[in-house]
A and B are shown apart, each in its own frame.
Chain A
Amino acid sequence: MEGIVVKNLSRDFAYYEKEAGMKSSVKNLFHRAKQIRHAVKNLSFEIQKGEIVGFLGPNGAGKTTTIKMLSGVLYPTSGEVQVNGYVPWERKKEFKKQFAYVAGQKSQLWINLPAVDSFALNKSIYEISDTQYRQTLGELVELFGVQEFLKVQVRRLSLGERMKMEMIAALLHRPKVILLDEPTIGLDFIAQNNIREFLKDYNRNNGATMLLTSHYLKDIEELCQRTMVISHGNLVYDGTLEQIQDVFSNRRILNIHWNSPVQKEALVSLGTVKSWEPMRAAIEVDDAAVAQTIHRLFAMFSVGDIGIDAAPLEESIARLYEQGA
């Protein structure tokens, strides 16, 4: 089957704890209490061929560990994974030729040489024909607009330019599955946008399956039809981003403009004042209390205009993260 199937996937890491000070260092020489961190717990999901799925979660939630197991870098403690019909950690050559792993903080480029030298190496490793290499490289270079940087030493490129080159190196063999771990980390918004546009184009043109982790909600919002949220190794949500807001936030923000100045202190009894200026304010209230609060506002002040917004997506997601704790 093409796509990704994950069943009851778990991964533990062993570690030791040490109290501060010399006494515990000496004690640790003779006995170390082994601790187990459950990085991923019993994770199950499926991703269809051609789908782009976002993987959200706070630091240490288990996103990267999951991606590393899907790419065969790590062995799981238990569970099953199939990526395009292959078990990743068996590391079969046919499997490796079908997928790419892009990590924002890892590099496969030869830093002292221009990126084009690393591309040529990948051509040899992936046994890409001359014609396909020329065609794919041409397309990718054009999509990213990096023609002028091809002959520049990688170490002299900006972070954004370097990331684009990393992406080209990873996609030269036209993978069917792409696992992206924070591909836009540290990039400015123009470079982030470029990468997002590129991934969309690549998915459209090649029907590639993509799983993407990112701390930038914008990446997930723009790229992914579906989002999975992981917290403390558990899958706590699988659906659309919009639904997260509907289901997991029972808070609303009232944005009010006054006809005459209103003191902040006069508003605190109505809800949580999120922002305040003499002529306008934003108050967060419970979903069920919206109508009543509006009523009270009109009764207490001279209201010029009022708008109701959902609570920010980040807050809904933060609630989800807390659920997994």
Chain B
Amino acid sequence: MRGRLHELKWYVKVAIHFGKLSLQSTMEYPLDFASGVCVELAYMTIKLVYLYVVLSAGMKVGSMTPDMVIIFVGTYIFMTGIWMLFGGVNNIPGQVVRGDLDLLMTKPGSLQFLQTFGKFNFALAFPNVAVGTILIIGGWRRCAIPVTISHIGVFILYLAAGIVLTYSFGLMAALLVFWVTSLNAVSTLYAALWDYNNMPMELYPKVIKQIGTFLIPIFLVTNWSGMAVLGKLNPVQIIWGITVPGLALLMARTMWKAGIKRYTSANG
């Protein structure tokens, strides 16, 4: 027990250190940071145009009022920021192809941890997380959702589940490099799947909803937290939303172990 606690403290300490160094690196080149923020703001404007159309037209998306849609779009933008934040995950394909995992492999601790939490991209994450949070809070207020511990707790629970899914899905997509080497098609496909979340899943036909929930559970990333506070999750969805992140993390871990065995350090 004591050993586990010590190990946990080590992981937290090293992760914070990685975070600090990533931030310090970013601050060395403020113009790079600013340009990264600008690029993300430009992408975000496109996403916000959809929201503007919904709000100005007073359009309902399924059973969702325009105010509710704000929460979903906010969560989607927030989670896009989290996806961008995991620079270590997104760098995997290039590092594997170049054989850049070598020195990291010789460091104490889990290689998966050292790689995936080794670099954070604050420039791309910051605008998304900030605007996403503002939209969530704004949508929450407009929907008059009570600010209670249980409401906030359940929202954060499914938001955390979404973060775990973002990490796991991103990792699994990146790990395909061990089998296919060039990931251009996979990355494009993953980005396209991700963008299915830029509106609440209620927008889609039933068959798409089923696929996005059970087969490729991408909808769980951004829909469940909003649906939970709006009381729109049925018991199966409640359990499914808790179970899938655990399963996805397990699958990503298994895939990591299998992939690393195929690592050839740019020799093969």
Contact = CB atoms under 8 A, between A and B. Distances in A.
A113 B108 contact: no
B141 interface: no
Contact of B102 (A68, A100, A127): A68
Interface of B: 10, 13-14, 17-18, 21, 24-25, 28-29, 100-109, 111, 114, 261, 263-265, 267-268
Interface stretch (A44-52, A70-78, A287-295): A70-78
A293 to B, nearest CB: 47
A103 B98 CA distance: 14
B21 A73 contact: no
Q: Which size bracket describes the interface of A in this complex?
A: 20 to 34
Main secondary structure of the interface of A (DSSP, over half): mixed
A13 B102 contact: no
Nearest to A123: B17
Contacts of B21: 110, 113, 117-118, 121
Given A103-B102, A126-B108, 10 more contacts: A15-B268, A65-B267, A74-B265, A91-B111, A97-B108, A110-B25, A112-B29, A120-B17, A124-B13, A125-B109
Given A39-B267, A127-B10, A71 B106 contact: yes
Contacts of B10: 127
Interface of A: 13-15, 39, 65, 68, 71-75, 91, 93, 96-97, 99-101, 103, 106-108, 110, 112-113, 117-118, 120-121, 124-127, 153
Contact of B261 (A71, A75, A100): A75
Contact of A100 (B14, B105, B106, B264): B106
A10 B48 CA distance: 57
Contact of A13 (B25, B104, B107, B268): B268
Contacts of B17: 120-121, 124
A101 B109 contact: no
B263 A96 contact: no
A39 B267 CA distance: 9
B14 A125 contact: yes
A198 to B, nearest CB: 19
A59 B101 CA distance: 22
B265 A73 contact: yes
B28 A73 contact: no
Given A13-B268, A110-B21, A99 B106 contact: yes
A100 B107 CA distance: 9
Nearest to A101: B106
